[in-house]
């Protein structure tokens, strides 16, 4: 019924949009201007590929106060925050967030620990308050032609505010009478040609009572899920120079960790025990040379993962991990007739600088490897945006990457955009993306052969898009097919890193709808996915297991959002957001055979889940002071997912979020 109601509402909205008055006065102002698709400034509707732009104000109206929240990215079409996956990629067989290119203010951010199996480390958390976010830009689909490795299923760029000032505070209470509090400020100041933008914030949340059960033997308790976040970001601009210094610290407990339900339940604890810290500094300068725009950039990123007294396997674990990336990049943009050319070179050096893991039940060991892993990445890319005629443009480009460990990748892209008229836009694109194995995959303690070399995975995507847009309504649709070769994954039972022998595929259809009235703004988005993984074969100790082809584990076939802002043109808008995630299959453990013996087992599915958020805003309750308050997950359902393990008999669903009441004050000056 939920599936049917969402689909029915969407079809009704579609009819309303199609009969809306066609406006020749289409607003071509770059209200959704983005650099993300081509690194050149274009309206998101006119770039090749599928791009979505979501404002920070919109996220806040949906009840998202900080990107560290468990459902922070659910509004993105086809994004499942609980598994950090995009476009039907699932968790174990496609993403866990390490197959998305993440950026903050156009600067890449990553970690070699993202997605490490069964270690309880490497969480992707960005503690940035939405009060300080200008917008989030998203490419759905491959982006390696511009951004290189890891842009398999998407590129997400978080853009912070640069031209406003404010103080904010947020208070919250969960249904289990635990509390959260946050305070922060942001602003931009100018003096003698120097412009300084800064964001500071701190946050502490005690989490929810999330009951869990260990299966054998039976044991009950609450899964620790407290978190605390600290943020400092500063950008300096002087003449043609830009300098940035960022520090993002996310402290957490267990809510996003890969807790193994076959182990004892961790002690309930409101004190975050693990920290993930990103430090980013760099310098950029822009030049104008012979009618060309030249940009040179250098930077250093560091990622640390530290934990004390983390419970695991009837013992405790301490972690002290540090990795760093030093990089330099130069780009040139110029126009020759009807050709808009962009070229660039990149070099980066990645190293693990500290790698200590201490566990009470065995000796101190390396978290990843004792081989001091390092990697040098060099790349060259070129892109040509060609104005074919008044209605048509083509974008052709490619990037070539090499790695010091003998890997290389060519990532081409060709896209077409055709403006039939002011309201109808057609797009077509082919693109390829790649991702080398991370250090956590290459050197995972689960691997039987530590010296094994894994192939880089490559994804080829064909997509067609149609956009219908008037002054007050829009419909955006995309159909795509993605085939991934040498997908880096984990084995169904052993969780060893493997390259899948057979190509995998995802077919999908995505739709976004909006309609603006004088009294309300309404909209919806939805995504339908069908994934396929080939058979998996593994031989150990003379025994060969062959697993049936299946869909990706934890990949929902259907995701949807419906939202409406009532009284949108008044000082007291009310926003309702309904989110629906379809059921997800666990690993299909139907074995074709073990040494000729047929064995059939199944692991079922995680049921469909949904929630409803309601937010009320009151503008200018006093001079320059805005008030927002609301409830997240109105009906109080405990949202659940399953990280690891996936195979029988461990089929317990792990809870990750409950109900929250919150209030936010923003003072603008």
| Residue 310 pLDDT greater than 80, yes or no | no
∠ Cα 436 441 446 (to 5°): 160
Higher pLDDT, 217 or 314: 217
Q: pLDDT at position 4, please?
A: 36
* Mean pLDDT of the region 630-650: 78
Q: pLDDT at position 361, please?
A: 59
Among the residue ranges 252-261, 538-547, 587-596, the one predicted with the least confidence is: 587-596
Q: Provide the percentage of residues in the chain whose pLDDT is more than 70.
A: 81
**3-class SS of residue 234:** strand
Q: pLDDT at position 15, please?
A: 36
Asked, as a colleague might, if the bond just before 217 is cis with ω within 30 of 0, I would say yes
Determine the Cα–Cα distance for residues 584 and 589; give it in Å rounded to an integer.
Answer: 15
Residue 314: CB atoms within 10 Å: 9
pLDDT digits (tens, 9 = 90+) for 77-109: 999 988 888 998 866 555 678 889 999 999 999
Which H, E and C letters describe 236-258, residue by residue? EEECCEEEEEEEEEEEECCCCCC
| Residue 592 pLDDT greater than 90, yes or no | no
Per-residue pLDDT band for 256 (boundaries 50, 70, 90) equals low
Q: pLDDT at position 653, please?
A: 78
Residue 391 is given by DSSP the state: S
Task: Output b/e per residue, 167-194; b: 16+ Cβ within 10 A.
Answer: bbbbebebeeebebebebbbbeeeeeee
Q: Which of 24-38, 47-61, 231-245, 531-545 has the highest mean pLDDT?
A: 231-245
* Mean pLDDT of the region 481-508: 86
**C-beta separation of 659 from 175 below 8 A:** yes
Q: What is the DSSP string of 424-452?
A: EEEEEEEEEEEEPPPHHHHT-TT-S-TT-
Per-residue pLDDT band for 593 (boundaries 50, 70, 90) equals low
Higher pLDDT, 486 or 489: 486
**C-beta separation of 481 from 507 below 8 A:** yes
Q: Provide the percentage of residues in the chain whose pLDDT is more than 90.
A: 54
User: Beta strand 154-160 with 101-104: parallel, antiparallel or unpaired?
Assistant: parallel
Number of folded domains in the chain?
A: 1
Q: Which domain holds residue 494?
A: 2-668
What average pLDDT does the chain have?
A: 84
**3-class SS of residue 613:** strand
User: Beta strand 497-499 with 488-490: parallel, antiparallel or unpaired?
Assistant: antiparallel
**3-class SS of residue 536:** strand
CATH number of the domain that residue 272 is part of: 2.40.170.20
Burial tier of 319 (Cβ tally within 10 Å: 0-12, 13-18, 19+): buried
| Residue 316 pLDDT greater than 70, yes or no | no
**C-beta separation of 258 from 269 below 8 A:** no
Distances (CA, A) of 96 to 452, 500, 505, 664: 22, 17, 17, 31
Q: Which of 179, 161, 322 is nearest to 233 (CA)?
A: 161
**3-class SS of residue 13:** helix
Among the residue ranges 181-190, 192-201, 370-379, 518-527, the one predicted with the least confidence is: 370-379
Determine the Cα–Cα distance for residues 575 and 425; give it in Å rounded to an integer.
Answer: 30
Q: Which residues pair with 581 in a beta bridge?
A: 559, 609
| Residue 613 pLDDT greater than 90, yes or no | yes
Higher pLDDT, 17 or 637: 637
* Mean pLDDT of the region 546-560: 85
| Residue 285 pLDDT greater than 90, yes or no | yes
* Mean pLDDT of the region 637-665: 79
Residues 6 or more apart whose Cβ sits within 8 Å of residue 512 = 52, 77, 474, 475, 476, 477, 523, 524, 525
Threshold 0.75, pTM exceeds? yes
Q: pLDDT at position 19, please?
A: 36
pLDDT digits (tens, 9 = 90+) for 117-157: 555 567 789 999 999 999 999 989 999 999 999 999 999 99
* Mean pLDDT of the region 399-428: 94
∠ Cα 306 312 317 (to 5°): 35
| Residue 325 pLDDT greater than 70, yes or no | yes
For tokens 């949906």, name the residue: 62
**3-class SS of residue 132:** helix
């Amino acid at each position: 019924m939920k599936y049917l109601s969402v689909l029915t509402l969407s079809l009704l909205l579609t009819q309303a949009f199609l009969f809306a008055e066609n406006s020749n006065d289409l607003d071509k102002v770059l209200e959704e201007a983005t650099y993300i698709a081509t690194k050149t400034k274009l309206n998101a509707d006119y770039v090749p590929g599928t791009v979505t732009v979501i404002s920070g104000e919109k996220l806040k109206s949906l009840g998202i106060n900080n990107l560290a929240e468990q459902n922070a990215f659910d509004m993105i079409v086809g994004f499942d925050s609980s598994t950090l996956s995009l476009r039907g990629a699932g968790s174990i067989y496609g993403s866990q967030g390490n197959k998305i290119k993440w950026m903050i203010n156009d600067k890449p951010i990553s970690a070699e620990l993202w997605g490490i199996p069964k270690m309880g480390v490497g969480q992707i958390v960005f503690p940035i308050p939405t009060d300080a976010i200008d917008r989030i830009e998203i490419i759905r689909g491959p982006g390696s032609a511009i951004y290189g490795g890891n842009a398999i299923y998407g590129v997400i760029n978080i853009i912070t505010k640069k031209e406003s000032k404010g103080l904010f505070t947020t208070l919250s209470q969960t249904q289990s009478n635990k509390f959260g509090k946050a305070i922060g400020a942001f602003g931009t100041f100018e003096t003698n040609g120097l412009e300084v933008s800064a964001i500071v914030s701190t946050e502490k949340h005690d989490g929810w009572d999330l009951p869990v059960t260990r299966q054998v033997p039976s044991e009950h308790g609450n899964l620790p899920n407290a978190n605390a976040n600290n943020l400092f970001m500063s950008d300096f601009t002087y003449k043609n120079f830009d300098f940035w210094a960022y520090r993002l610290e996310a402290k957490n407990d267990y809510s996003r960790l890969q807790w193994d339900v076959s182990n004892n339940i961790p002690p309930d604890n409101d004190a975050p025990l693990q920290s993930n810290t990103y430090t980013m500094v760099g310098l950029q300068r822009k030049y104008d040379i012979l009618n060309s725009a030249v940009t040179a950039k250098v930077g250093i990123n560091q990622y640390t993962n530290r934990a004390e007294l983390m419970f695991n396997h009837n013992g405790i674990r301490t972690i002290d991990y540090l990795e760093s990336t030093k990089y330099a990049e130069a780009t040139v943009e110029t126009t020759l007739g009807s050709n808009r050319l962009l070229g660039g070179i990149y070099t980066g050096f990645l190293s693990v600088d500290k790698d200590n893991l201490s566990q009470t039940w065995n000796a101190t060991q390396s978290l990843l490897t004792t081989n001091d892993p390092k990697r040098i990445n060099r790349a060259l890319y070129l892109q040509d945006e060609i104005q074919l005629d008044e209605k048509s443009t083509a974008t052709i480009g490619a990037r070539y990457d090499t790695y010091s460990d003998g890997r290389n990748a060519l990532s081409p892209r060709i896209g077409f955009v055709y403006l039939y008229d002011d309201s109808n836009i057609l797009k077509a694109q082919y693109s390829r993306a790649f991702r080398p194995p991370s250090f956590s995959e290459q050197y995972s303690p689960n691997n039987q052969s530590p010296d094994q070399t894994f192939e880089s995975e490559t994804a080829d995507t064909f997509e067609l898009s149609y956009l219908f847009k008037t002054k007050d309504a829009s419909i955006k649709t995309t159909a795509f097919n993605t085939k991934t070769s040498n997908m880096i994954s984990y084995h169904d039972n052993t969780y060893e890193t493997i390259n899948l022998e057979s190509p995998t595929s995802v077919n999908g259809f995505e739709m976004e709808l909006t309609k603006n009235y004088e009294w309300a703004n309404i909209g919806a988005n939805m995504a339908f996915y069908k994934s396929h993984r080939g058979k998996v074969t593994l031989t150990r100790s003379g025994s060969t297991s062959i697993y049936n082809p299946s869909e990706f584990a934890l990949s929902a076939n259907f995701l949807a959002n419906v939202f409406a802002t009532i009284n949108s043109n008044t000082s007291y808008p009310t926003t309702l957001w309904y989110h629906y995630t379809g059921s997800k299959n666990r690993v299909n453990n139907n074995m074709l055979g073990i040494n000729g013996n047929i064995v059939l087992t199944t692991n079922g599915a995680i049921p469909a889940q949904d929630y409803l958020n309601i937010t009320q805003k009151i503008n200018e309750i006093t001079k320059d002071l805005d008030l927002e308050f609301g409830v997240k997950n109105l009906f109080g359902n405990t949202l659940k997912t399953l990280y690891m393990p996936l195979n029988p008999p461990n089929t317990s669903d792990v809870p990750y979020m409950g109900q929250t009441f919150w209030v936010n004050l923003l003072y603008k000056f």
